[in-house]
């Protein structure tokens, strides 16, 4: 589905992603793991077409990242990216206008499930409420590749369970999910595949079961071992 | 592209509403001053008409300043994700902003022109000594001794020339903003802002310099139309600048953007 070959992205003197080669296959839920500055967000932004690589190739379904890939790739950034005038309903209408795969009914149901009012202005929402809204928007797209950057950030422990179950509900074998998070223990329950990144390179990756078996450690413990 | 333009309008609707309310309040002030005017005491009418005139000028130029600021804000804030995540080409994004600005400018000019005609006729109704808009125009055209069809042609040509020149400035500033968001993205926001402004000044100075050395087709124009057509090389250059700037901006956003 997504193929990256020798992808490099530099910001001034810092190399955010360094000669990265990676393949994302459909039917899997990937965890993109690593501390701040490891290149996770830059990688996702490149796959979403928001950042252009300095070198290497990035293909989605065999074609370079561009207008066509944006129709099938859904990306949820960590930051708030809405216009100041927008309410939850406005954000939904915006997605409906631009993404053919957006399901407004499903979005409103997810908002209700997450105890969010569609009429509330997004700029007046708490960080946790905004995080839930962003997840509802992204999961309401029937995209082939769904990338959630830090989906559990700023969300209380009760709501986390709801979000994890929403992610599981949205997943189908035709899709691939790529989730980045510091809260590895929350992701461990749902992921099929783990990618550990450090200073812009992949230091370890593989099926979650294989990694656990080969190393005799849980993904959480592996994370500690790699980054501690 | 229509959807992109729709959201350009929505983003600016708050500011446009403020301008609308300001215009309505000043218009009401003018009408009140006119209707309550007694004898020769026209101080309030002059004051309200002056305020209305200044406000109209400010509104009109704000439309164009807004076009540049919006683009800069779009590329330098996280809301840029909203636009650039969608399946639209960078060229569509830029052209939608330009067309939106053009439509807004034309709509604002038409509305303000209509308001001016109405206000002048109301003034004539209250103070018959003041000439109506039509009388003013007739007197002006008669004094110029120019055929009506040539006057209309001159007006249309002047408007097109003005718009091309103005949009040349807008697209040059888009280019400066785009350069700061692509080649200069590694700099801090303050330095980027300064460099972007410096680029805007330098690029516009260069364009003015080129325009100033272009030949005039008619060294001694006798009519407004001749004067406008004499500057055809400058207008053609401005038109080329618009096309080049849009193309370069689109290319840079397509190949180099880092949001």
Q: Domain ends where: B89, B105, B130?
A: B130
Chain B residue whose CA is closest to A41: B259
The structure tokens 């080329």 sit at B240
Of B11, B81, B186, the CB nearest to A77: B81
Q: Which residues of B touch A98 (CB under 8 A)?
A: 3, 86-88
Query: Per-residue confidence of chain A (228 residues) as pLDDT tens digits?
Result: 899 999 999 887 788 999 999 999 999 999 999 988 899 999 999 999 998 898 999 999 999 998 999 999 999 999 889 998 999 999 999 999 999 999 999 999 999 988 899 999 999 998 888 999 999 999 999 999 999 999 888 788 888 888 888 888 889 999 999 999 877 888 888 899 999 999 899 999 999 989 999 988 889 899 988 888
Do B235 and B164 contact (CB within 8 A), yes or no?
A: yes
Asked if the Cβ–Cβ distance from B79 to A83 is below 8 Å, we say: yes
Do both B176 and B201 map to the same domain? yes
Is the pLDDT at B116 greater than 90? The verdict is no
Q: For residue A128, with 0-12 CB atoms within 10 Å meaning exposed, 13-18 middle and 19 or more buried, which class applies?
A: middle
Asked if the Cβ–Cβ distance from A71 to B258 is below 8 Å, we say: no
Is the pLDDT at B208 greater than 90? The verdict is no
Asked if the Cβ–Cβ distance from A94 to B14 is below 8 Å, we say: no
Chain B residue whose CA is closest to A51: B258
Is the pLDDT at B146 greater than 70? The verdict is no
Do both B45 and B153 map to the same domain? no
Chain B residue whose CA is closest to A99: B86
pLDDT in tens, B104-115: 888 888 888 888
Domain count for chain B: 2
Q: How many CB atoms lie within 10 A of CB A140?
A: 25
Cα separation, B46 vs B44, whole angstroms = 5
- Phi first, then psi, for residue A207 (nearest 5°) are -65, 140
Of B11, B89, B255, the CB nearest to A83: B11
Which domains does chain A possess?
A: 34-207 (3.40.50.300)
Do both B171 and B258 map to the same domain? yes
Domain contains B140: no
Minimal CA–CA distance to B34: which of B48, B20, B50?
B48
Do both B79 and B178 map to the same domain? no
Torsion on CA atoms B253, B255, B258, B259, rounded to nearest 10: 40
Do both B183 and B220 map to the same domain? yes
Domain contains B78: yes
Residue A77 corresponds to which tokens in the numbers above?
Answer: 């950034």
User: A77 — contact with chain B (CB < 8 Å)?
Assistant: yes
Do both B126 and B13 map to the same domain? yes
Do both B124 and B99 map to the same domain? yes
Question: What is the reported pLDDT for A183?
Answer: 78
User: B219 — contact with chain A (CB < 8 Å)?
Assistant: no
Distance from CA of A92 to the nearest CA of B (A): 12
Chain B residue whose CA is closest to A67: B87
User: B16 — contact with chain A (CB < 8 Å)?
Assistant: no
What range defines the domain where residue B210 resides? 146-259
Q: Domain ends where: B104, B130, B156?
A: B130
Domain contains B139: no
Please list, in sequence order, all residues whose beta carbon lies within 8 angstroms of the beta carbon of residue B62, skipping any fewer than 6 positions away. B19
Question: What is the reported pLDDT for A139?
Answer: 94
Do both B7 and B123 map to the same domain? yes
The stretches of chain A forming alpha helices (DSSP H) are 40-48, 67-70, 88-98, 104-113, 127-139, 157-170, 184-188, 208-215, 219-227
Do both B5 and B122 map to the same domain? yes
Of B82, B85, B88, the CB nearest to A83: B82
Q: What is the mean pLDDT of residues B199-206?
A: 88
Q: Which residues of A touch B185 (CB under 8 A)?
A: 11
Average pLDDT, chain B: 83
CB contacts < 8 A, A to B, total 64
Is the pLDDT at B38 greater than 80? The verdict is no
Q: Domain ends where: B130, B165, B181?
A: B130
Q: Are strands A14-24 and A2-11 parallel, antiparallel or unpaired?
A: antiparallel
Is the pLDDT at B257 greater than 80? The verdict is no
Q: What is the mean pLDDT of residues B29-36?
A: 86
User: B255 — contact with chain A (CB < 8 Å)?
Assistant: yes
Is the pLDDT at B258 greater than 70? The verdict is yes
Asked if the Cβ–Cβ distance from B84 to A82 is below 8 Å, we say: no
């Amino acid at each position: 589905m997504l193929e990256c070959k020798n992808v490099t992205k530099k910001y001034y003197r810092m190399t955010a992603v360094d000669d990265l080669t990676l393949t994302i296959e459909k039917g899997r839920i990937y965890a993109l793991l690593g501390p701040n500055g490891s290149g996770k967000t830059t990688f996702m932004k490149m796959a979403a077409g928001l950042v252009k690589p300095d070198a290497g190739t990035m293909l989605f379904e065999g074609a370079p990242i561009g207008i066509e890939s944006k129709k099938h790739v859904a990306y949820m950034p960590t930051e708030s990216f809405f216009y100041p005038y927008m309410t939850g309903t406005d954000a939904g209408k915006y997605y409906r206008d631009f993404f053919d795969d957006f399901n407004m009914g499903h979005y409103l149901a997810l908002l209700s499930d997450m105890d969010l009012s569609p009429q509330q202005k997004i700029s007046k929402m708490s960080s946790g409420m905004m995080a839930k809204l962003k997840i509802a928007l992204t999961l309401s797209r029937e995209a082939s590749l769904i990338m959630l950057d830090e989906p559990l950030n700023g969300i209380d422990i009760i709501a986390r369970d709801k979000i994890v179950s929403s992610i599981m509900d949205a997943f189908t074998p035709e899709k691939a999910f790529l989730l980045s998070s510091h809260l590895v223990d929350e992701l461990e329950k749902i992921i099929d595949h783990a990618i550990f990144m450090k200073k812009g390179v992949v230091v370890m990756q593989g099926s979650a079961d294989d990694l656990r078996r080969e190393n005799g450690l849980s993904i959480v413990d592996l994370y500690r071992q790699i980054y501690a | 592209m229509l959807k992109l333009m729709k959201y350009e309008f929505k983003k600016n609707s708050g500011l446009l509403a403020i301008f609308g309310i300001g215009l309505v309040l000043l218009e009401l002030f003018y009408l009140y001053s006119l209707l309550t005017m007694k004898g020769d005491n026209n101080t309030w009418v002059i004051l309200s008409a002056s305020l209305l005139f200044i406000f109209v000028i400010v509104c009109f130029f704000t439309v164009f300043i807004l076009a540049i600021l919006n683009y800069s804000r779009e590329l330098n804030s996280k809301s840029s994700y909203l636009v650039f995540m969608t399946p639209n080409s960078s060229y569509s994004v830029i052209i939608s902003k330009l067309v939106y600005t053009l439509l807004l400018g034309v709509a604002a000019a038409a509305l303000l022109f209509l308001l001016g005609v109405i206000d002048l006729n109301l003034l004539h109704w209250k103070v018959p000594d003041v000439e109506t808009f039509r009388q003013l125009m007739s007197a002006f055209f008669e004094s110029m001794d120019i055929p009506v069809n040539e006057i209309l042609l001159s007006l249309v040509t002047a408007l097109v020339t003005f718009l091309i020149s103005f949009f040349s400035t807008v697209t040059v500033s888009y280019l400066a903003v785009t350069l700061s968001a692509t080649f200069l993205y590694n700099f801090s926001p303050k330095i980027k802002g300064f460099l972007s402004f410096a680029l805007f000044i330098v690029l516009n100075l260069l364009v003015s310099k080129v325009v100033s050395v272009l030949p005039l087709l008619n060294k001694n124009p006798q009519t407004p139309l001749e004067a406008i057509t004499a500057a055809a090389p400058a207008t053609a250059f401005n038109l080329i600048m618009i096309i080049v700037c849009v193309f370069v901006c689109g290319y840079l956003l397509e190949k180099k953007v880092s949001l």
